[in-house]
Structure 1
Amino acid sequence: MNISIPSILLGLGWKCLLNWALVFLQRNHICRSFLGVFSVSLAVVETVLTLIFTTIHIHSDGHLLLLGLQLTRYHTCLLVQILGQVYSALQWPVAVVASLEHFCTISLRAAASRAKWVICLLVTILLWYLAALYVFLLSDFIPVLEDMSHHQMHQCWVFHTTEILQIVTLLSLTLGCVALHAVCSTRLLKNHPLKDQIKDQSRTHSRGSVVCQVLHIFLNTWALLLIFLAVLVLLPVGIPSYLGLNVAWLCFLNSFLIAVVLCVVCPASQLAQGLAAVPPDSFCEWRFKFSLAAEERT
């Protein structure tokens, strides 16, 4: 799609404000997880790049020199396209690393520490480096620039990002399969209440309770955003790649991954006793309620 350069700069400016607002909102635990550290790095990188793009646009008559190269609107469009490709390349690696961290936190009850913060920082730097390396050396990315003078260039061709919808679709299918399995297991055990199945039945009820509560907590917070993403899937409307990666999306992804891992791992006994380690989340309050009978069975 073709978007005017002022609109691109305005979108990036509002995105920077939103990024920093959400980072400030999560300031108490922003550095306790990989997604928190990556959110800070994203806010810093995007602020610096937005200032660079704005400076180039203001001096688009060719008076801005960098290492002997005249920077014009062509370079603004080129850098925006490169930025979008780097963001698209980061989507899946960030989701995979965050899901592995959440799995270890919930299943192994790994506590946050200074060593973990350092590891998260190193992984963040490595991901930025590998994404840029992939875009410049390994991908088939070809810039799309109009053949005209930079004085007549007022719009940039911007690629769409599909990775967000792919990740949401995969996580939704995983969550739906786990919920369906929990419902089917409960019904099967109700139909065959044998004595040797009492223990399995109690575990199934615990899993079903955890899945239901997880879905309720998650949907209470993010239902509107899920509906919006579903509309994007149905309509031929794309998300500009330079807007695809932002702190708001990372906050949603954090809650979504916590929900999926809780349903898959299902630490019902730890949750009932308040011993389960749930990753930090500024939007969903992961509190669970179990009946006394359920606690005795678990």
Structure 2
Amino acid sequence: MTALSSENCSSQYQLHQTSQPLDGNCLLVLIILGKIILNILTLGMRRKNTCQNFMDYFCISLAFVDLLLLVNISIISYFRDFVLLGIRFTKYHICLFTQIISFTYGFLHYPIFLVAYIDYHLNFSKANFPFKCQKLFYFFIVVLIWISVFAYVLGDPAIYQNLNAQNVYSYQCPFYVSIQSYWLSFSMVMILLMAFITSWSEVTTLVQAIRITSYMNETVLYFPFSSHSNYTVSSKKTLLPKFIVCFLGTWLPFVLLQIITLLFKVQIPAYIEMNIPWLYFVNSFIIATVFWFNCHKLSLRDIALPVDPFVNWKCCFIPLAIHNIEQIEKPISIITC
């Protein structure tokens, strides 16, 4: 695998390059099809009626772009050589479209992370729009991000020269790995590791005492409340181990996958790496981060907690707000570790 030369790409988008046979169009179609199936399964497993934030709208748009890419390369792969609207399409355009999508996906990680964080942070203020206006606002932001990144990729001279440098008759098709994805994954894993090391004893105690209980017709994890403690909702030290347990309880396999990928320096093409499971993993991490930094503003009575499609963060706060939950709802089972 050879890295893109510094003359062709600036440090802002250092993307790694490798090659695969251009004739392996069938394999590429199968890879994209598998990714689409994974996206559909992930969207189907999420909690219903959670399309209330920016990340959900972007995930839907990503599924649409993946489907559009699959349709395009499938048509070109089937007809091989044809003319449409005065433009001649050959099997080389399969490689070209995939490269453009890879570059585009590679630049999306930081903007998506930043916008999602701002979106959740604003949920703790009173600057909320009416629901219909909010949906239109999210739709506009998603479209704006896609157009901006596409325009940047197609308009950047270094990327344009790199795309044109590929020989049309070559049997090698390069694909790219985003450096943004690497550093984002590295940062999240390191933060989780430091958080776990900082509160590993509290995490161990919680895991040993966790109960599954029913609250408001939902099954939640119950962290027993000590009547002799001075825990409050605003205590970051108290919430941190509970966040770790909730987060790892849902995403531990994904965290281990990130660690393996980082340790062995696995180079995953950007058109595969940017997927809906990855985005929901980042989404849960962002929600936990926003909760932790704004824990002094949390109030179950006044603020509706942002809905996570996969993690029920409310179980981190219920024991702090309802000390007699054991008398209200009888635990349905106990987990012992």
Fold match (TM-score > 0.5):
yes
Match of 2:79 in 1: 59
The alpha carbon displacement at 1:227 in A equals 1.2
Check if 1:24 corresponds to 2:36. Answer: no
| 2:224 alignment counterpart | none
The residue correspondences of 1:2-81 to structure 2 (distance < 5 A) are 2-3=19-20, 4-26=24-46, 28-60=48-80, 62=81, 64-81=82-99
**CA 1:119 to 1:111, structure 2 compared with 1: closer, same or farther past 3 Å?**
closer
Matches within 5 A, 1:1-298: 1-3=18-20, 4-26=24-46, 28-60=48-80, 62=81, 64-106=82-124, 108=126, 110=128, 113-138=131-156, 140-141=158-159, 142-143=162-163, 147=167, 149=169, 153=171, 156-174=173-191, 206-267=235-296, 270=299, 273-286=300-313, 287-288=315-316, 289-290=318-319
**Identity, % of aligned pairs?**
23
Give the whole-Å Cα distance in 2 for the aligned partners of 1:202 and 1:145: 62
How much has 1:87 moved relative to structure 2? 0.6
The alpha-carbon deviation at position 176 of structure 1 amounts to: 6.0
Q: In structure 2, do the counterparts of structure 1 residues 203 and 27 end up closer, same or farther at CA, with 3 Å as the change threshold?
A: closer
TM-score when normalising by structure 1: 0.80
Residue type at the aligned position of 1:279? P
Say whether the 8 Å CA contact 1:221–1:283 is kept in structure 2. yes
Unpaired runs of at least 5, structure 2: 1-17, 201-229, 325-337
Does the 8 Å CA contact 2:234/2:296 hold for their aligned counterparts? no
Measured in 2, the distance between the counterparts of 1:126 and 1:205 equals: 37
Structure 1: which amino acid aligns with 2:105?
Y
**Higher helix share goes to which structure?**
1
Compare 91-100 and 283-292 and name the one that shifted more: 283-292
Q: Name the CA distance, whole Å, in 2 between partners of 1:30 and 1:203.
A: 28
TM normalised by structure 2 equals 0.71
1:191 corresponds to which residue? Answer: none
Query: Once structures 1 and 2 are overlaid, which stretch shifts more, 101-110 or 65-74?
Result: 101-110
2:306 maps to amino acid? P
Across the aligned residues of Structure 1 and Structure 2, the Cα RMSD in angstroms comes to 3.0
Q: Counterparts of 1:144 and 1:241 in 2: how far apart (Å)?
A: 19
Give the 3 Å change call, closer, same or farther, for CA 18–292 of structure 1 in structure 2. Answer: closer
**Residue 206 of structure 2 corresponds to which residue in structure 1?**
none
Could you list the runs of 5+ residues in structure 1 that have no partner in the other structure? 184-200
**1:71 counterpart letter in structure 2:** F
Shift of 1:259: 1.1
Q: Deviations over 1:31-82 (max 9, x none)?
A: 311111111111112112211111101112x2x2122222111111011000
Matches of 2:304 and 2:124, distance apart in 1: 5
The amino acid that maps onto 1:278 is L
Q: Larger % of strand: which?
A: 2
Q: Hey, what's the Cα distance between the residues in 2 that align with 1:165 and 1:231?
A: 12
